[in-house]
Amino acid sequence: MIGRNKISFIVSEENIDDGYPHNACLCPISVALQEKFRLKPEKIYVSPITIIFFKNKEYWYKLNKEGRQFLFDYDGGKPVRQTSVEAELVKVYAI
């Protein structure tokens, strides 16, 4: 659930195949989160360090080390595999 202190999710091989490098709304991490939370691509923004959800508020999460490394490798054209990722809630803003 968005808003919890920590979220965990799996980035599947299918998410990797469906994702686009250097795309904050359509990278494999974003695609996995869209599936998990049933959100449209424009409601999730993934950077190399953070995930931002736009729902009734703006939720900022910090990716764990594995998530950051996955994104750097994927955007760098290196081969990646299915992985488990966690992110910790950093801030919530009213919108």
Predicted confidence (pLDDT) per residue in 17-33, tens digit: 999 999 999 999 999 99
The count of structural domains within the chain is: 1
Residue 25 lies in a domain: yes
Residue 15 lies in a domain: yes
Q: Write the Ramachandran bin of 85: left for phi over 0, alpha for psi from -120 to 50, otherwise beta.
A: beta
Q: Which of 20, 21, 12 is nearest to 75 (CA)?
A: 21
**Average pLDDT of the chain, as a whole number:** 94
Residue 14: which domain range?
Answer: 6-94
Torsion sign (Cα): 1, 85, 69, 13: negative
Q: What is the pLDDT of residue 40?
A: 92
Q: Please say if the pLDDT value at position 84 is more than 90.
A: yes
Contact by Cβ (8 Å): 7, 86: yes
Residue 1 lies in a domain: no
CA distance 68 to 59: 18
> What are 41-62's pLDDT values in tens digits?
999 999 988 999 898 899 999 9
Q: Which of 10-14, 29-33, 51-55, 80-84 has the lowest mean pLDDT?
A: 51-55
Residue 79 lies in a domain: yes
pTM comes to: 0.92
